[in-house]
Structure formats: structure tokens, C-alpha cells
């Protein structure tokens, strides 16, 4: 009986324990689920908390590793990018230094003639007078120019101005003068002209020149210089070039002009810049005469001073080409 009672008690206790264990197991599983999705409202099961904490630590550690790896990769990329940028800049710098700007250099090779034939700065004349050694079919007078020293010949009207002391031009000569302008002449008509002609009747002309005439035009209204060559034999020749040295649009109202003839060759300089270098400008073998002229569309004042005319040296290059020899006595030992 006692044995039977003991068996019954054991069975009841076992069932209760099983039921209790079942209930606890279900609760643990539920808590595990709740903590997996929400990690809850209850603090319950310590075992599940620890397990979840380990999982969370693992996940956090994984993200930290990824973040650390990502930062390392970004740093490496930044370093590589900076290195590439530096290399590109170095390459560009080397390319820029290797591609230096091309620049040409030219010296002012004008050589004024030593034997002076004529010089005039008009200082001997009274204001309002006109030089007796000039002839004209227009009008002019001696004036002072604001901001400029000395006296100037003002060529007030269109026409020719012939200096009697500049004629029967030598084969080699230089002619220098300063010229200025006051007013806007527009860019029409010929401008300020230098008339070199074998036809004396053409000295008073400012257009429609005969054969045997070569002209240089300087036009500050257009900022251009040009030539016109009308030979007795052969074709006419003309051309225009820029002349920034004497250009009213940039307020360059004054310029020094230097002319250099060496037989057939003519060089023209504005200040110290070469405007023209024409090998066959003087196309004729007979004597040339000379005249200034002005031909502007609007009224303006043209001033002229410091005229110097001198005999120059021969063109040694021309002698070597045409004669095949050149003789000099200027070499000393």
C-alpha cells in the first residue's frame, strides 16, 4: 500500500513538474521570440538576454568592422585621388613649362644718315607764319601745340606741302619727322601721305597719281599704313598694314616716323617699330622728288615738326646681290 501511495505521489509530482516545465518552456520560447523582434517589455529570461546581447554585439562588431573597412578604403581612395591630382598638376606644369609662349624679337635697325642735308623745327618762325621754303596748294601756319614742346607746322586744309629742300632724292637717304593729329578725321580718304614721284607735276596731287610714283599713306583714323606703287613698267602694287602706334581710337595722337631708302628698298618705322620693308618700292632709275600731303574726310589738324633729311649708307646686301661684290675701307687690324 505504501508502495502504491508512493508511486501515486511520484506520478502526480512528475505530472506537475512536467506541466510546470512545459509552461516554463513555452514562456521561455515566447520571451525569446518577443526579445528577438522587440526585445521587450519584460526583463525576463536571463539566458535569452545574454544570447541576444551576444548576437547584438556580433552584429555591432560586424558593422564597426565594415565601417572601419569603409573608412580605410575611403582614405586610400582620397590618398590615391590626391596623388593622381598632384601627378596631373605636375604633368600640366611640365607641359605648360615645355610649351613656352613663342616670342619673336626684332631690334630697331634704323640708322640715321650722318650727312645732314636739311633740318627744321620751325623755332625761327613766328606763330601764325608759314615757312618760306615750303610750297602748298592748301593752307597752313606755325603753331604751339598744347602739351608739346617747340613749334609745329599746322597743315590746316587738305592738299600738298612741298619742302623745297627735299628734292632730287639720293639713292640712299633717311627722312625723320614727328607728326601729330588733333580731331577725329574718320577712316575715309587717304590720310597723311608721303609722295615719292619721278613726275614733278604729281607733287601737288593727293590722288590719281601718274606712273613712276610711289606713295606711303599713314591713316590714324583707320589705324593703318599702306602703300601704292605705280611703276612705268609692270603692274601696280598696293597693301595695307596695321598701325597701332598712331591711332586716334586709342589716343595715340603723336608718332615719330623714320624713312630709310637704300636704292630701291624702302623701310618705314613708327616710333621704333618697323611698319614696312619694301625691296622694290623705288621702281624707277630716274630721280625722285618728294611732298607731304593730307587728305582727310572730316576737319582735323595735322602738325609736323623736327624734319631731318640726310644722306645714308648704301645697302650692302643689295650690292652683294646686284654686283656680286662689296668693297669697304672700314676694317682695321
- Grid cell for residue 14: 512528475
**Ranges for all domains in the chain classified under CATH 2.60.120.560:** 115-314
273: left (phi over 0), alpha (psi -120 to 50) or beta: beta
HSE-CB of 136 using CA atoms within 13 angstroms: 21
- Measured between alpha carbons, how far is 294 from 158 in angstroms, rounded to an integer? 5
Biggest CA–CA distance in the chain, Å, is 173
- Measured between alpha carbons, how far is 217 from 282 in angstroms, rounded to an integer? 15
Contact 183, 294 (CB under 8 A): no
| N-terminal to C-terminal alpha carbon distance within the chain | 160
Could you please state the CATH topology (level 3) that the domain comprising 115-314 is classified under: Jelly Rolls (2.60.120)
| Residue 117, Cβ density class (10 Å: 0-12 exposed, 13-18 middle, ≥19 buried) | middle
**Tens place of pLDDT per residue across the chain (333 aa):** 544 445 444 454 444 444 444 444 455 445 544 544 444 444 445 554 554 455 455 545 544 555 555 666 666 676 666 665 666 666 565 555 555 555 555 668 899 999 999 999 999 999 999 999 999 999 999 999 998 999 999 999 999 999 999 999 999 999 999 999 999 899 999 999 999 999 999 999 988 999 999 999 999 999 999 999 999 999 999 999 999 999 999 999 999 999 999 999 999 999 999 999 999 999 999 999 999 999 999 989 999 999 999 999 887 655 555 556 655 554 443
What angle in degrees, to the nearest 10, is found between the helix axes of 2-37 and 46-98?
Answer: 20
- Grid cell for residue 160: 600738298
Amino acid at each position: 500500500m505504501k508502495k502504491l501511495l508512493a508511486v501515486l505521489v511520484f506520478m502526480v509530482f512528475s505530472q506537475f513538474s512536467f506541466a510546470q516545465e512545459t509552461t516554463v518552456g513555452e514562456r521561455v520560447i515566447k520571451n525569446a521570440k518577443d526579445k528577438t523582434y522587440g526585445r521587450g517589455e519584460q526583463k525576463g529570461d536571463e539566458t535569452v538576454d545574454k544570447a541576444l546581447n551576444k548576437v547584438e554585439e556580433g552584429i555591432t562588431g560586424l558593422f564597426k568592422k565594415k565601417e572601419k573597412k569603409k573608412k580605410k578604403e575611403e582614405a586610400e581612395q582620397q590618398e590615391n585621388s590626391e596623388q593622381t591630382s598632384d601627378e596631373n598638376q605636375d604633368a600640366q606644369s611640365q607641359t605648360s613649362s615645355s610649351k613656352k609662349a613663342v616670342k619673336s624679337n626684332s631690334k630697331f635697325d634704323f640708322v640715321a644718315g650722318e650727312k645732314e642735308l636739311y633740318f627744321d623745327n620751325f623755332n625761327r618762325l613766328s606763330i601764325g607764319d608759314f615757312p618760306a621754303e615750303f610750297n602748298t596748294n592748301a593752307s597752313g601756319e606755325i603753331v604751339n601745340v598744347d602739351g608739346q614742346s617747340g613749334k609745329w607746322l599746322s597743315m590746316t586744309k587738305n592738299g600738298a606741302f612741298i619742302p623745297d629742300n627735299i628734292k632730287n632724292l639720293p639713292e640712299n637717304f633717311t627722312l625723320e619727322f614727328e607728326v601729330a593729329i588733333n580731331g577725329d578725321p574718320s577712316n575715309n580718304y587717304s590720310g597723311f601721305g608721303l609722295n615719292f614721284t619721278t613726275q614733278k607735276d604729281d607733287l601737288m596731287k593727293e590722288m590719281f597719281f601718274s606712273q613712276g610714283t610711289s606713295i606711303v599713306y599713314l591713316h590714324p583714323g583707320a589705324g593703318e599704313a599702306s602703300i601704292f606703287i605705280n611703276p612705268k613698267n609692270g603692274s601696280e602694287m598696293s597693301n595695307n598694314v596695321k598701325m597701332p602706334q598712331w591711332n586716334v581710337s586709342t589716343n595715340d595722337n603723336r608718332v615719330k616716323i623714320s624713312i630709310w631708302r637704300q636704292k630701291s628698298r624702302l623701310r618705314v618705322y613708327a616710333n621704333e617699330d618697323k611698319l614696312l620693308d619694301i625691296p622694290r618700292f623705288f621702281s624707277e632709275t630716274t630721280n625722285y622728288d618728294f611732298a607731304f600731303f593730307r587728305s582727310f574726310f572730316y576737319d582735323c589738324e595735322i602738325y609736323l615738326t623736327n624734319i631731318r633729311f640726310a644722306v645714308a649708307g648704301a645697302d650692302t646686301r643689295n650690292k652683294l646681290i646686284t654686283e656680286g661684290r662689296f668693297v669697304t675701307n672700314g676694317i682695321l687690324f
